Amino acid sequence: MESKQFDVVIVGGGIIGSSIAYYLAKENRKVAILEADKIGGKSTSAAAGMLGAHSEYKEFKHLYPFARSSQLLYKQLYEEIRELTAIDFEKRNGGLLKLVYSENEKKELESILSLSSVEWLDNKEARKRVPQLSKEVMGAAYLQEDVHITPLIACNSLSKGAQLFGAEIYEYTRVLAVSKTGMEYSIKTAQGTFLAKNVVIASGVWSNYFFQQLGLSHEIIPVKGECVAAINEGAPLRYAVFHDQFYIVPRNNNELIIGATKKWNDWSENPSLDGLEEVIQKAKKMIPEVGEMKWTRAWAGLRPQTYDGHPYIGEHPEMKGLYFATGHQRNGILLAPATGKMIRDLIIGTPVEKEWLDAFKVERNIFAYGGGK
Amino acid sequence: MESKQFDVVIVGGGIIGSSIAYYLAKENRKVAILEADKIGGKSTSAAAGMLGAHSEYKEFKHLYPFARSSQLLYKQLYEEIRELTAIDFEKRNGGLLKLVYSENEKKELESILSLSSVEWLDNKEARKRVPQLSKEVMGAAYLQEDVHITPLIACNSLSKGAQLFGAEIYEYTRVLAVSKTGMEYSIKTAQGTFLAKNVVIASGVWSNYFFQQLGLSHEIIPVKGECVAAINEGAPLRYAVFHDQFYIVPRNNNELIIGATKKWNDWSENPSLDGLEEVIQKAKKMIPEVGEMKWTRAWAGLRPQTYDGHPYIGEHPEMKGLYFATGHQRNGILLAPATGKMIRDLIIGTPVEKEWLDAFKVERNIFAYGGGK
Amino acid sequence: MESKQFDVVIVGGGIIGSSIAYYLAKENRKVAILEADKIGGKSTSAAAGMLGAHSEYKEFKHLYPFARSSQLLYKQLYEEIRELTAIDFEKRNGGLLKLVYSENEKKELESILSLSSVEWLDNKEARKRVPQLSKEVMGAAYLQEDVHITPLIACNSLSKGAQLFGAEIYEYTRVLAVSKTGMEYSIKTAQGTFLAKNVVIASGVWSNYFFQQLGLSHEIIPVKGECVAAINEGAPLRYAVFHDQFYIVPRNNNELIIGATKKWNDWSENPSLDGLEEVIQKAKKMIPEVGEMKWTRAWAGLRPQTYDGHPYIGEHPEMKGLYFATGHQRNGILLAPATGKMIRDLIIGTPVEKEWLDAFKVERNIFAYGGGK
Amino acid sequence: MESKQFDVVIVGGGIIGSSIAYYLAKENRKVAILEADKIGGKSTSAAAGMLGAHSEYKEFKHLYPFARSSQLLYKQLYEEIRELTAIDFEKRNGGLLKLVYSENEKKELESILSLSSVEWLDNKEARKRVPQLSKEVMGAAYLQEDVHITPLIACNSLSKGAQLFGAEIYEYTRVLAVSKTGMEYSIKTAQGTFLAKNVVIASGVWSNYFFQQLGLSHEIIPVKGECVAAINEGAPLRYAVFHDQFYIVPRNNNELIIGATKKWNDWSENPSLDGLEEVIQKAKKMIPEVGEMKWTRAWAGLRPQTYDGHPYIGEHPEMKGLYFATGHQRNGILLAPATGKMIRDLIIGTPVEKEWLDAFKVERNIFAYGGGK
């Protein structure tokens, strides 16, 4: 096979890679996604899809503006994508209740509660919105902007949108090696070699192989998250609920998505029995009647964790034209649009916020940030 | 267990029963659904969900107004249900292309093409809307009002809506016998006996048992429909396509729903290999590249067929307060709202169109109609 | 359709019905099985398949000989069926360890330990056989005769064996009514009417409908059992382990079958989250490392429970030629061969143990037995 | 993590890698399997499991003795493994009927028919063994030695057997790079580095990455095989049947395994609709009633094809201690024992048949063999 030539080759077709492809194809760049499996088939499809710019506020620290900008981009994208592809990626309004069981827990939410879009609900008001809540719930921060979407559908619709702008999608195409000759990158796969002026590594936890192959000692640690789903037999749940890093998220199809554990450095993509037990217990603490609901399925996904909790979004320190967009931890769905836009701007040459450049750059000082958790 | 008392007990929690429950509960009737399996778990979940008032026009004959009224009710319901339950039942606009491969086939569509909302597309225009169409397609009737929904979600959201208005849902509750004492019906189940002033049998192909138990010789024949789904790897399909009673329907999740065969009097709820072969061949005739797409699942559903192709919607000829709402053939999803409203009106005492009463009544003259297929 | 005529029509194609069919067809009786779903598709396929004549000893009381005779019949059947059908129903030798955590528990096993085929293992010996055992295990009764099989395969091979002897199998054929005219029974189904000199109701928890339809007030209560399976990542487990009515059973395919809860009068055929949690906890108490194993699936089955814990195996008190074989509680797999043989003997006229006739007869004095639990 | 040290590290835990591990661990070598996914989770689990030393005779040419030796090793292994692990890997006797529809086809079987264990059956005798055969079948070569097993179970039992002899199994452990320092190999993975005196690459179609990384230009082409399974509703099928490279294989669980297409250089691991259509048509040509049977599942696997149809079993031409065992095409299950034994002998220093060494060696003259097809 003759080598195909592109402006940008994106390695990885999860929601990050698909968003990058969408933003670049829309600017008439000739783009290819090379995906080792199916579009969105790994961590993307395992995610619950909460756009938790506020609920993850503590996590984001001074990078809340980046997360918030991404949350706002979703509002645009939702309409734009539906117009373009006829696909509705199931943005579900209503938002999220971050539950509080004690004064101490309430105190921890102080910074979130100070945000203008966030409202404090006492026990009575919280139960008005979610009558199924445990009686032990003291109250809740109501984050109305933290809506949720169905991640695999959003991912597919972004890649379909990119296709309509001319992008090419290669599934089941595992990249064996990336190398540079002159000004051009050559991306070797079992199906042949692709050539490109720019390459973006967006392979989540599987980016390690490329860090190493490209001379970097960076490392992504997988943090496995285990989930179950159950049929909601009672009244519909209008809001997602959240406590202690666990959540219950309602879907259109009457499933409640319940997750997720955090297992460090566990590469297995199936849930363990311990994981299921933990998830069920945490869910019952929020909504006791969940225990009686009927199980439908269980799964797990691997969150790509960096040493300091911030993603790598930026250029290789020495290889011009080679970018990374990985390490989004538990916020890949939320951060996909802002990441796609930022990579687009870097490649196209549009200015990007200085603060974001610094915080996410690949060669950042590993002592400058406090660590993700 | 003490017997529970209701205004109306509905036997069957598919989309017909759920719609009836919704319309009655909204009018403050105390309603229960008794479902032998799960809500929507049988024929409802097997359906593609096309609201084909026009595409099934020939089938409806002079009853097009009933079908059309139901199609219009869905527009209201969509907003109303989303407001009430926060569930979006995935009404997907765009409509349907009824494909034509010859002048003869075009002639058969004459009556449909005369409708004001239907447009003729020649080959070129049809391929502009659906570039993947086979080159053998001569043109298409474009039925923009024949949108589609996701049936199981619509069914669940109607039953959830009913619950919010006070209805009670009993799943896994098989009805063993219905009998009348004085003015009251007693509905015996393995979980205890329910009492009600009115009973509605909405059990699709499983209604035969009740016809017999209640002294009627009516019979519903199952017409099995076999389906497959595949991942749409190409550009998004914006419209459903239809030919010779087979269809390809796009879903948000990037699946194409492809169906369906017609196997008379086949009670098995799993697809046969012959069925899958037929479905695949018919789909490839419409969109050849479907052959290369990856399979995701296969299933079958049983359509309840009456001797004349019209449903039974009306009262038992001798037992007052006992209603039937069954036999909707391949149009159960489309006709659910109008059926729910009609049964509500019959029970509440609101006038119903004379023509519909006659056409659907249980004791109708079996010689008066021409037969369904 | 013209009515088909049989010597014996069996209503229900689980392992009980299939065994009856096998024993009768082998004696040249013209037999039909009418199954509402698929052969073995309900409770049979949900069972773990332990042939626990000794582990259930307490349960059997003076009826141990019946259970033991059935266990011995399986040895014959295994060879006979493999010869006849080429199917190996995966009888797995090794037997069962009934675990003991305290002196009190050991005392409860006294009667079992007194059996000649049962051996006491102290902690050290138990761990030699099953190194994964919890350190809290004090010892175990080793029941080497209580081997296990794969129930759905055994059921299918019995029905296939019956077919080879001329039996006819009708799946997806729900019986609507059984009635008697003269000396003949007529069994009405949606697919037509069957005629037979003898009828056997072997419908497990779904037998209630027939008790009622045939004038009896007997009742079967479903006791739902919820299960999970996990991949055994460690060394192979050579024995089933059992404690407090929960078990871990190894299969050839490297799955561990873990079950089962007991939920009275719960008709839902799907496991609840509470059920999964309980099962996981009980399994970890026996083999702690089970917690780290990867989940593969979860399911539930309905055990048919009678008021006194004994099955109904015998003739209708007033309708000659009509038999029941149902209510086998958690021991349907074990008791299938002895039940099949006993019904065959009743129909053919071979003498049957007096004690078994009395204990299982349909019209037995409800005060004569102590109740199963 | 400190590096773990082994005598032999095997990259790939399919049936080839598991067999190698078993034979080496049994000789007290300290062995580890590093598997990127689950043991047997890829091509192994997709295979039908026919041990077709004779049916693939033409394919094997003068290497029939290697295939036949492997077939015979399975007889030993079956007993040995069951004794050791208590797992029965479902060797199913009966053998295979290679169907013939014309004199020409019969002529093509001449060499097979000349083998002493192979018998010619005319139409009548063939139908006595398999009454369901198409009437167009002229006769069949009966290959009684070509029995079949359940591949995933055989693979798991070999790896479990290896564990019992001390081997360590690392699932979800993707190898990033293999390199040599002095006399020792270092195998880098995301979970840490392993050290070993010997390395065996047994990664099937995924071996390309290692060929390249280790300086070789060899290439494995995937040949995708698509399959469906159906419930056998009729009499049990006692034999596998085979024609034109398609087969129907009966399993204990009443499924018929039907396959398989040959799609060159297709890396997708899911079946296409075209593939399912082809498989169904081929199966119906052998046993027409298969068309009416109910579908249960569909899947695909990737067969590792070399340029000449022979596997690579031997040492790297320049790196001592580094072995390949890959490229077994459609015969990986059959050849696993002989491959495991041969790699063991190479590592341990036991003599190996000269002819096999030459035929399978990695650096063989690419013009010396005629090509597999």
pLDDT of residue B370: 37
pTM above 0.90, yes or no: yes
Using CB atoms, pick whichever of B230, B274, B281 lies closest to residue D292.
B274
- Average pLDDT, integer, range A51-65: 85
Confidence of residue A372 (pLDDT cuts 50, 70, 90): very low
As a 3-state breakdown, chain B gives helix, strand, coil percent values, each rounded to 5, of 35, 30, 35
Q: Do D291 and B268 touch (CB under 8 A)?
A: no
Query: For residue A230, what is the nearest residue in chain C, using CA coordinates?
Result: C273
| pLDDT tens digit at each of 373 positions of chain B | 578 999 999 999 999 999 999 999 999 999 999 999 999 999 999 999 999 999 887 777 778 999 999 999 999 999 999 999 999 999 998 899 999 999 999 999 999 999 999 999 999 999 999 999 999 999 999 999 999 999 999 999 999 999 999 999 999 999 999 999 999 999 999 889 999 999 999 999 999 999 999 999 999 999 999 999 999 988 999 999 999 999 999 999 999 999 999 999 999 999 999 999 999 999 999 999 999 999 999 999 999 999 999 999 999 999 999 999 999 999 999 999 999 999 999 999 999 999 999 999 999 865 443 333 3
For residue D118, list its beta bridge partners: D143
Q: Output the pLDDT for position D366.
A: 54
Quick one: pLDDT band at residue A366, thresholds 50, 70, 90? low
Q: Give the largest Cα separation in chain C, rounded.
A: 67
d(CA D203, CA D327): 9
CB contact under 8 A, D273 and B284: yes
Q: CB neighbours (10 Å) of residue D368? A: 9
Which residue in the set C152, C163, C236 is minimally distant from D253, CB to CB? C152
Specify the amino acid at residue A309: G
Which chain A residues are closer than 8 Å to D190 by Cβ? 205, 208, 222, 267
User: C294 to chain D: nearest residue by CA?
Assistant: D38
Question: For residues C51 and D160, what is the distance between their CA atoms, to the nearest angstrom?
Answer: 26
Q: Which of C206, C94, D1 is nearest to B189 (CA)?
A: C206
CA atoms of A220 and A306, how far apart (whole Å): 5
Q: How far apart are CA C101 and CA B274, in angstroms?
A: 56
Question: In 3-state terms, chain D is what percent helix, strand and coil (to 5)?
Answer: 35, 30, 35
Question: Which helix or strand (DSSP H or E) is residue A7 part of?
Answer: strand A4-11
3-state class (DSSP) for residue A129 = helix
Chain A residues bordering chain B (beta-carbon distance below 8 Å)? 38, 85-90, 92-94, 150, 152-153, 156-157, 160, 163-164, 169, 171, 231, 233-236, 238, 250, 252-254
Task: Name the residue with tokens 């219009």.
Answer: B72
Mean pLDDT of C237-241: 97
Q: Least CA distance to A91: which residue of chain B?
A: B88
Flag whether pLDDT at C371 surpasses 70. Answer: no
Residues of chain D with pLDDT under 50: 367-373
Contacts of B87 in chain A (CB under 8 A): 236, 252, 254
* pLDDT > 90 fraction of chain C, expressed in percent and rounded: 91
Q: Which of D149, D254, D292 to mutate to test the interface with C (most CBs of C within 10 A)?
A: D254
DSSP bridge partners of A189: A175, A192
- Chain D contacts of B295, Cβ < 8 Å? 270-273, 275-276, 298
Per the DSSP assignment, residues forming a β-bridge with D28 are none
- C12-to-A301, C21, C203, C360 alpha-carbon distances in Å: 42, 10, 5, 19
Query: What's the pLDDT at D369?
Result: 38
Q: Å from B209 to nearest chain A CA?
A: 27
CB pairs under 8 A between B and C: 40
Cis peptide before D260 (omega within 30 of 0): yes
**pLDDT of residue A161 exceeding 70:** yes
Burial class (CB in 10 A: 0-12, 13-18, 19+), C188: middle
pLDDT at B190: 84
**β-strands B139-143, B96-100: how paired?**
antiparallel
- Cβ–Cβ < 8 Å for D170, D159: no
For residue B24, give the amino acid letter: L
Q: What is the pLDDT of residues C266-294, one digit of tens each?
A: 999 999 999 999 999 999 999 999 999 99
Residues of chain C with C-beta less than 8 angstroms from the C-beta of D169 = 233
Domains and CATH numbers, chain A: 4-86+151-218+308-360 (3.50.50.60), 96-144+221-305 (3.30.9.10)
pLDDT digit string, tens, across residues C54-93 = 988 877 777 899 999 999 999 999 999 999 999 999 999 8
Cβ(B87)–Cβ(B157) below 8 Å: yes
The tens digit of pLDDT for each residue in C15-47 reads 999 999 999 999 999 999 999 999 999 999 999
Question: What's the confidence (pLDDT) of residue A368?
Answer: 40
What is the nearest CA distance from D157 to chain C, expressed in angstroms?
8
> Closest partner residue to D267 among A173, A209, A265, by Cβ?
A173
The answer to whether A314 touches A324, Cβ cutoff 8 Å, is yes
Residues of B in contact with D275 (CB under 8 A): 295
Euclidean distance between CA atoms A262 and A246, whole angstroms: 10
- The answer to whether the CB of D233 falls within 8 A of the CB of D89 is no
Task: Give the ipTM.
Answer: 0.93
